[in-house]
Amino acid sequence: NAGVTQTPKFQVLKTGQSMTLQCAQDMNHNSMYWYRQDPGMGLRLIYYSASEGTTDKGEVPNGYNVSRLNKREFSLRLESAAPSQTSVYFCASRDYAGPGSNQPQHFGDGTRLSIL
């Protein structure tokens, strides 16, 4: 059981290049999330998908787009990468059952992205 798998693990881009980060989960979870983690800061939510077919903005969505391809896969796209998007990106999933549901999120091991 792989859990949440993210690809690639590392990537270096030049400013202006585009990139899609891939995420897949095999736990049949309905909700999926994309976070970024910067030094000295906790995880900040970029976008999320409460269920297949829906996506919504999180705390820091500017410069990103997402696609919930199917129940398993949720991708994050940078259309024109900027140095400020240098970060570690984490994908997570959980079996969300509505407000008050405390099913924990399960995280992948991250994609380390550097933009020069």
Partner 1 sequence: GESVGLHLPTLSVQEGDNSIINCAYSNSASDYFIWYKQESGKGPQFIIDIRSNMDKRQGQRVTVLLNKTVKHLSLQIAATQPGDSAVYFCAGPSKAAGNKLTFGGGTRVLVKP
Q: Is 18 exposed, middle or buried (0-12, 13-18, 19+ CB in 10 A)?
A: exposed
Q: How many other C-beta atoms lie within 10 A of the C-beta of residue 110?
A: 18
- Least Å distance, CB 62 to partner 1, is 16
Please list the residues that pair with 65 across neighbouring strands: 77
- Least Å distance, CB 85 to partner 1, is 19
| 105 touching partner 1, by CB under 8 A | yes
Which residue lies nearer to partner 1 by CB, 74 or 108? Answer: 108
- Least Å distance, CB 45 to partner 1, is 6
Among 14, 28, 62, 104, contact with partner 1 (rule: CB under 8 A): 104
Asked if 93 contacts 106 with a C-beta cutoff of 8 angstroms, the reply is: yes
Site for partner 1 in 16-45 (CB under 8 A): 33, 40-45
What is the pairing mode between strands 43-49 and 56-57? antiparallel
Which residue lies nearer to partner 1 by CB, 26 or 79? Answer: 26
How distant, in Å, are the alpha carbons of 20, 21, 24, 50 from that of 95? Answer: 24, 22, 14, 9
Which residues in this chain contact partner 1 in the complex, by CB under 8 A? Answer: 4, 33, 40-45, 48, 56, 58-59, 90, 92, 99-100, 102, 104-110
